[in-house]
Amino acid sequence: MELTGAEIFVRCLQEEGVEFLFGYPGGAVLHIYDALYQQDKVKHILVRHEQAATHAADGYARSTGRPGCVLVTSGPGATNAVTGIATAYMDSIPMVVFTGQVPTALIGNDAFQEVDNIGITRPCVKHNFLVKDVHDLAETIKKAFYVATTGRPGPVVVDIPKDVSAHRCEYSYPKRVSMRSYNPVVKGHSGQIKKAVDLIMTAKRPMLYTGGGVILDNASKPLTEFARLMNFPITNTLMGLGAYPATDPLFVGMLGMHGTYEANMGMHNCDVLIAIGARFDDRVTGNIEKFCPTAKIIHVDVDPASISKNVKVDVPIVGGVDNVLKQMIKMVKDSNERPDPEALKEWWKQINEWRGMDCLKFDRTSEIIKPQYVVETLYRITKGDAYVTSDVGQHQMWAAQFYKFDKPRRWINSGGLGTMGFGFPAAMGVQLAHPDETVCCITGEGSIQMCIQELSTCRQYALPVKIINLNNRYLGMVRQWQEFFYQKRYAMSYMESLPDFVKLAESYGHAGMKIEKPGDVEGALIEAMKVRDRVVFLDFITDQHENVYPMIPAGAGQNEMILI
Amino acid sequence: MRHIISILVENEAGALSRVAGLFSARGYNIESLTVAPTEDPSLSRMTIVTTGTESIIEQITKQLNKLIDVVKLMDMTEGPHIEREMLLMKVIAKNSMREELKRVTDIFRGRIIDVTDASYIIELTGPGAKLDAFIQAVDPALILEVVRSGVSGIARGDKTLRL
Ligand SMILES: Cc1ncc(C[n+]2csc(CCOP(=O)(O)OP(=O)(O)O)c2C)c(N)n1
């Protein structure tokens, strides 16, 4: 059957089982919008800014494991989407972004709303395609989904010129694609895994350090099994929170710049480090020269280029985290060797001593609302079962420290790129994917204003996202750095002329609450959770001068934390 | 260390910019880069000469392999290989200088491929270092123009870079 490119596009998305397409129309994609209009399988969500479309698709992807989908027009539509594409790229989130392009005959002519979208997005996508001929469209879309979702996932851009969406051709959707130049390794090399297990058996002070890769590969179960089987302490990166239950005694908290004392000291003093689906980011390692000075390192990652990139490792294992963990578990179970139990006992004693420092303590008697208290109360009220997105700044760190995630895919934040403005649109994607669940966006008055226009989208689709605004009237994280490292010269970190967030929310038809006393925090949260048909904007007026502790200052090692 | 990395890439628009973009984005050195189609029209072959520590070279090869358009990669420097580059040089060649230039060209096993009453064009093939030496050997005052092709490499013996 002959179909237009636009019709083919829609059919392909249906074949891929795409539920939601986040987008914004414009000239170059009008044929496609017309085809979308004439069907009801793929639901289009109209955002208010293309950046939000990418973040929403990203939130959908992170919370479900399925690829997020975006459709934007050429030129400004595409450039607005770039921040969200880069955000997804840094965190390896599967996403397919369709951008309109000017007709093929005009490409390169500085036509109206033309940008070199392939060129602009090249460094921040896993791959991108320009479709020059309608005959290639279906296969390209198939490839795009395949590349985005396999191996180390990531965003893929498909640029579709307007004439391609108008031209007709015979349609059939390929069942499978294979690409000779793309064959991600899934199965870990058993020889390497054996080496790793042998090394693990010699450990006296082992440490499991796991990241977002565990979540991306849905490997929480084998990870949990492995840690418990070995009785090893485990820390998660910011991206890896929820991969291991945070309330489990083996869990020592998040590591890194604002990680716990016990996690960072454990890293610094361990003798065998087992890194799984983590990438030795500079926010984790601190000064690389001082990183894990006494450890032999095992690194499991699906991306060979991640291995020995920042830190030279002793036993590299390329493979899917799930597959490798399962092989490891089997080898351990089949072996009658175990690490020295006495040494492990000593190690745990040491770790519990570090734990005793209670590095996340904060003033509980304050008359002013402490941001930590808000997150802690939110955790309690939602029974630890909410989906929590965040923006970037102090509130993000407090969310990571004080909300204890026991399940994967519940904690959704921009760890790699650190994109302010991510949290709220991401929460929309999460809420659409999980209409009956509680979705909270923990944010700051700086970040929330970067995509505040999405209040309108939430109204249109009746999305009951809870905005937890930790309002300190400062770009808090910037202010903290200025306090510590710039002698309190608070250059441009004070947020003046803030709107009345309650009225703002109400003007969109949502609910708003302003909370100024610690005694009102719990009640407000309980009240907010009851609202199911609109956003509740909770504007918590918090302590302006609160800082995030512990902190590893730039250039310091993991054992050189600033504690409160 | 200097490495010669050869890759087979999909003969697609944009493949070259992906490779070049990778080097600039990650701050890797490129000494030379050549690209041309192969006997298989769906593939191009690129040869990249780069320098870096072992760990940087390891990253370069991994990052190149990660590019979706890269089908196969070989680091020539890991084994015995042959490196060739071509140079064309236009020189002032008048009166007595003509003999001298002819002699130097012969010593380097080059050829004079174009002659006017005032100039020669010399063609020379060899490893990069030999071309460097030749340029050194010619009086700079006589050199009008130099063009080098960039390096090509091929492994010796039965090692091959093909699908
Ligand atoms: C788009 C973007 N611009 C700038 C920054 C730099 N930045 C990091 S944290 C921060 C302050 C965030 O302030 P706010 O959202 O109020 O959160 P708080 O730190 O006060 O909790 C800034 C400006 C960023 N991460 N993202």
**pLDDT, position B13:** 86
CA atoms of B107 and B137, how far apart (whole Å): 10
- Complete DSSP assignment for A275-340: EES----HHHHSSGGGSSTT-EEEEEES-GGGTTSSS--SEEEES-HHHHHHHHHHHHHH------
Bridge partners, A95 (sequence order): A68, A155
Query: Could you say which of A39, A43, A113, A516 is catalytic?
Result: A113
A326 labelled catalytic: no
Encode pLDDT of A363-378 as tens digits.
Answer: 999 999 999 999 999 9
Q: Is A119 on the interface with B (CB under 8 A)?
A: yes
**A304:B62 CB<8 A:** yes
Residue with CA closest to ligand 1 atom 9: A393
What average pLDDT does this structure show over A462-479?
98
Task: Please confirm, yes or no, whether A112 is among the known catalytic residues.
Answer: yes
Percent of chain A past pLDDT 70, that is, above it, reads: 100
CA–CA separation, A494 and A474 (whole Å): 5
Q: List pLDDT tens digits, range A234-279.
A: 999 999 999 999 999 999 999 999 999 999 999 999 999 999 999 9
Contact B7, B46 (CB under 8 A): yes
Mean pLDDT for the stretch of residues A95-101: 98
The answer, yes or no, to whether any atom of ligand 1 lies below 6 A from the CB of A469, is no
The ipTM assigned to this model is: 0.93
- Rounded to the nearest angstrom, the minimum Cα separation between B96 and chain A is 53
Q: How far is it, in rounded angstroms, from Cα B8 to Cα B2?
A: 20
At A72, which helix (H) or strand (E)?
A: strand A68-72
Pairing of strands A95-101, A155-161: parallel
Ligand 1 pocket test, candidate residues A51, A55, A447, most atoms within 8 A of CB: A447
Per-residue pLDDT of A126-177, as tens digits, reads: 999 999 999 999 999 999 999 999 999 999 999 999 999 999 999 999 999 9
A477 as an active site residue: the answer is: yes
Chain B contact set for A123 (CB, 8 A): 21, 25
Give the best residue of B26, B66, B73, B163 to mutate against chain A (max A CB count within 10 A).
B66
**Atom 20 of ligand 1: nearest residue by CA position:** A476
Residue A268's SS3 state is: helix
Nearby residues of A34 by Cβ (< 8 Å), 6 or more positions away: A6
The Cα of B151 is separated from the nearest Cα of chain A by a number of Å equal to: 24
Over the Cα atoms of chain A, what is R_g?
24
pLDDT in tens, A168-211: 999 999 999 999 999 998 999 999 999 999 999 999 999 999 99
Judged against a pLDDT cut of 90, whether residue A564 lies above it is answered with no
d(CA A332, CA A338): 8
> How many separate helices (H) and strands (E) can be counted in chain B?
4, 9
